[in-house]
Chain A
Amino acid sequence: MHPAKSVIFFTTSSGAGYGLLIWFALFGLLNRMPLDRDFALVVLGVSFTLVTAGLLSSTAHLGHPERAWRALSQWKTSWLSREGVAAILAYIPMFAYGYIWFVGIEDRNAVAVVAGASIVLSLVTVYCTAMIYASLKTIRAWHNGYTVAGYLVFSLMTGAVLLTFFAHLRQFDMRDEVSAAALLTLGVGLIVKQSYWRFLQTASSPSDIGTATGLGGPGKTTLLEGPHTESNYLMDEMGFRIARKHADKLRVYASLLGFVLPIALIVAAVFLGGWTEVLCALFAVAFCAVGILLERWLFFAEARHVVTLYYGAACA
């Protein structure tokens, strides 16, 4: 599948934004959030910015972005519609949380409700985003359990890494706990990703050229001539292929940058002090960001659509 920059940015940015909000709310619920208004507003502001930038990016790749509001109507059947509705709803507790911190409301019940709603709606939104891809039977690489697991874990992971940076920046007490959350999600994320890549080696669609044409299976039937000499929308959108040797290399880079280096840097940040601590946490965020963009790029690039069976592929 053609890796569209707008969609890669959308899923990673909004995923990180929701993840950050989830951890912020969780630490708030557990009463581990320092009573620092500026810190809270900055974190909520970053969460809001990441989510909004992501959502705007996703509407930018539409043919008619001015009609995007219509996408909220089909939540009964469409995961894309459900994701839009959930994203809009998730803004409510997000703004409420900002209001609570801005005004200085200390009612524990109010905080609990808003924090709980933030966590639930953020998780629901990320889940709906993942289901957009996971529900497509046409793409074996997405139509499996790893897609939802991955999206949820990477959202929590990138959010935790961000909150770790902010906690180390301000040298708050809870930075060790936040770092632990980041390390946990980084570890789980690495395992999920590696398992998924191993799954991809053997996963193939139940569809092949035999079922696509009814003329005979791989080896018996081959494409002799495509329908046109030039490319077309289907091939541009769904015919993207990446060579195995390139994909292998990129997987290594994604693993290192997105998971291994951030783990090492956060561990270092926990044991160091002063400006080296902050620098390590900052680089953890930077490497993780590049790594997760690479991971998402591969998620698209390594996905094959069954329509390619009509354009020369024997299996998909």
Chain B
Amino acid sequence: MTSLPKTTDKKLGLVIDLDICVGCHACAVNCKEWNTSGHSAPLTDKDPYGGDPAGVWFNRIHTFEVREESGAGRTVHFPKSCLHCEDAPCVTVCPTGASYKREEDGIVLVNADTCIGCKLCSWACPYGAREYDESVGVMKKCTLCIDKIYNETLRPESRVPACVSTCPAGARHFGDLGDPDSEVSKLSAARGGYALMPEQDCKPVNRYLPPRPRKKEAADIGASSHLQSKDGDLEGAGLLARLVDRVLSR
């Protein structure tokens, strides 16, 4: 049914730390690998070794340059996948009911058996979360690794989305953003996590943590401003050095 559930028991989503992300794209690659099997498999690549490759990815990393007040540029890597919105417009525009939001955890999914591939959901999504898979004729999107997070054959530590477990910098976090006491909620509140394009009224669940102000001055990390010993010269210098200094200073 493509009516949105009035409330969901949980609001599962991701918190992405723009301060830490190094733009390695490991999360995109791991997502692609995980989804060669499972719920949305396989993610199609057209002409992958040829001159004009194209493919379906759930997670894409954009890189932005931000000009700071000093005039210097700052590089910010920006991973973006489905934000599993509370008021997901991709769910309500779907004419067949293939696009739906789960009541138990808020994950937005596509039922590939009933999707007709009209692409209207991708037009409705401001974030580009949904892509059309040419070879199967249906829409595909981030599943929040629904086939991994509830997978009892995996160790409990592995039951997180593939992108979260693989991030080498620890820039991705997963949890229930509807629970104010969850780790992700506390992290987002502490760091000022924000939603993307709130004016689009989708009420996205994912949060982005802003880059922290750069620590450009030595005092920011408690270092002295230049190398200098306390009493001027020769403090702690060896015997030979003192001798040479006395000779040369005459």
| Chain A interface residues (CB < 8 Å from chain B) | 1, 61-65, 67-68, 70-74, 76-81, 84, 132, 135-139, 206-207, 211-216, 219-228, 230-234, 237-238, 305-307, 310-311
Contacts and interface: CB of A to CB of B under 8 A. Distances in A.
Contacts of A70: 95-98, 114, 116
A310 to B, nearest CB: 5
Q: How big is the B interface, by class?
A: 35 or more
Contact of B137 (A63, A79, A213, A307): A63
Nearest to B120: A80
Given A63-B132, A70-B96, A136 B2 contact: no
Between B65, B117, B126, B200, the greatest number of chain A beta carbons within 10 A of the residue's beta carbon is seen for B126
Nearest to B1: A74
Contacts of B3: 76-77
Contacts of B158: none
Contacts, number: 179
A304 B163 CA distance: 30
Given A211-B197, A233-B56, 6 more contacts: A67-B115, A74-B1, A76-B3, A80-B95, A207-B199, A224-B64
Interface in B183-241: 194, 196-201, 208, 210-211
B41 interface: no
A66 B66 CA distance: 48
Contacts of B75: 224
Interface of B: 1-3, 18, 28, 52-57, 60-67, 75-76, 78, 80, 89, 91-98, 114-120, 122-128, 131-132, 136-139, 194, 196-201, 208, 210-211
Nearest to B195: A214
Given A207-B197, A306-B197, A223 B64 contact: yes
Contact of B94 (A68, A74, A139): A74
A63 B54 contact: no
